[in-house]
Amino acid sequence: MSSQLSRSDRIRNMIVRALDPALLDVRDDSSQHAGHAGAAPGGETHYSVLVVSDRFVGQGRVARHRLVNAALEPEFAQGLHALALTLRTPDEQAALRN
């Protein structure tokens, strides 16, 4: 994986490999956290992530979060500070549209 990729792109790549999502949205919210704990001058520290994946079927909230956090462990080790996660199964996502 190239270090020239943005953290958003690296997050996307890692989640795609780990969870084969039907839907994935990664948003860098770092600018909203300037001056807060864990914020870095260059940003790329705080993200909101929506993942819709079959891997979440039968998994509770904590287990889903653990799957994502494990997939992103290398990013946490390199300065990723915070994730706001929305994690759904395809059926849960479909129910929102009805």
- Greater confidence (73 vs 98) lies with 73
Phi/psi at 5 (nearest 5 deg)? -70, 150
pLDDT at 8 (0 to 100)? 93
Q: Which CATH superfamily is domain 7-97 in?
A: BolA-like (3.30.300.90)
**Nearest-5° Cα angle at 26, 3 to 89:** 125
What pLDDT band is residue 2 in, cutting at 50, 70 and 90?
very low
Question: Quick check: pTM over 0.85?
Answer: no
